C-alpha cells in the first residue's frame, strides 16, 4: 500500500521560490522544537514564530472531546500557520516552531482514528492544498528525531495537564507518522538530527554541535 505522505507530496504544489533565511523546526510533541526555535532565533538574531499552543482556546477542549473539537482545532492551526507564512515572506529571515508544511500529519491521524469525518478531512485537505499553492519553500526544514520513550519523558516532565491523559499508543502512532512524513519530504532543503543523546538546552557542547550542523547546512561554514 502506497504511503499517504508520498501522495501528499505529489499533490502539494508550492511555489519554486525559496524564502531565504526561513528555518522551520519540526518533530513529535516533546522533542524540543520550541527550545531549539528560541535558541536559533537568539543565535541568528531573527524572529521566532511560536506554535499557537499557549493562547489556543480549543486545544485543552480537544484532548477531552476529540470528535467534537478535531476539525475546529485543525482549522485553527492551519489558519494561524498560513498567516505566519504570509508574514514571514516579508521578513529577511525567521524561524518557525512547526509550520504549515507539516500540518497535515495531525489531521491525517485524526481522520484515521475516526475523530475527524471523511468529509471534514477532505475539506481540510482542499483548504491546505489551496494554501500551499500560495506559499514559498523554506530555506531549511529541520526534523528533530527522538524515541517515543524520550519524548514521553519530556512530556511528563513539563506536566501540561491535557497531555498527561494521552495514552502511549497515541505518542507511538505520532512518531510513526512523523517518520513516514519525513521519509517522503521533498519540499525544500532538509536536515534530520537525532537528539536522543543530545541536551542542547543545558549542555553548551551539545548546543554547539547542533549549531555546527545547522551552520554547515546553511552554508555559513
Question: Which positions make up the binding site for substrate?
Answer: 51, 63, 74, 98, 103, 163
Binding residues for ATP: 27-35
Three-state DSSP state, 162: helix
Q: How many alpha carbons lie under 13 Å from residue 138 in its C-beta half-sphere? A: 27
Residue tagged 505520532 (cell numbers): 174
Residue in 26, 97, 115, 175 annotated catalytic:
97
Q: Verify whether residue 97 is a known catalytic residue.
A: yes
Residue tagged 523546526 (cell numbers): 25
192 contacts 140 by C-beta, under 8 angstroms: no
CA-closest candidate to residue 29, choices 200, 213, 170, 181:
170
Binding residues: 27-35, 51, 63, 74, 98, 103, 163
Q: How many CB atoms lie within 10 A of CB 46?
A: 16
Hey, which residues are catalytic here?
Answer: 97
Amino acid at each position: 500500500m502506497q504511503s499517504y505522505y508520498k501522495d501528499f507530496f505529489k499533490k502539494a504544489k508550492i511555489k519554486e521560490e525559496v524564502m531565504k533565511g526561513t528555518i522551520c523546526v519540526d518533530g513529535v510533541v516533546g522533542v524540543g522544537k520550541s527550545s531549539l526555535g528560541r535558541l536559533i532565533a537568539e543565535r541568528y538574531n531573527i524572529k521566532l514564530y511560536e506554535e499557537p499552543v499557549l493562547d489556543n482556546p480549543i486545544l485543552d477542549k480537544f484532548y477531552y472531546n476529540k470528535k467534537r473539537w478535531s476539525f475546529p482545532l485543525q482549522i485553527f492551526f492551519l489558519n494561524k500557520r498560513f498567516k505566519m507564512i504570509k508574514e514571514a515572506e516579508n521578513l529577511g529571515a525567521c524561524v518557525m516552531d512547526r509550520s504549515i508544511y507539516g500540518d497535515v500529519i495531525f489531521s491525517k491521524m485524526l481522520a484515521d482514528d475516526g475523530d475527524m469525518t471523511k468529509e471534514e478531512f477532505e475539506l481540510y485537505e482542499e483548504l491546505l492544498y489551496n494554501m500551499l499553492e500560495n506559499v514559498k519553500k523554506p530555506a531549511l526544514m529541520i526534523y528533530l528525531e527522538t524515541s517515543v520513550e524520550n519524548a514521553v519523558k519530556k512530556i511528563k516532565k513539563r506536566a501540561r495537564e491535557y497531555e498527561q491523559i494521552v495514552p502511549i499508543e497515541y505518542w507511538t502512532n505520532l512518531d510513526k507518522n512523523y517518520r513516514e512524513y519525513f521519509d517522503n519530504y521533498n519540499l525544500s532543503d532538509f536536515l534530520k538530527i537525532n537528539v536522543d543523546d543530545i541536551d542542547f538546552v543545558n549542555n553548551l557542547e551539545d548546543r554547539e554541535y547542533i549549531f555546527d550542523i545547522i551552520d554547515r547546512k546553511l552554508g555559513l561554514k
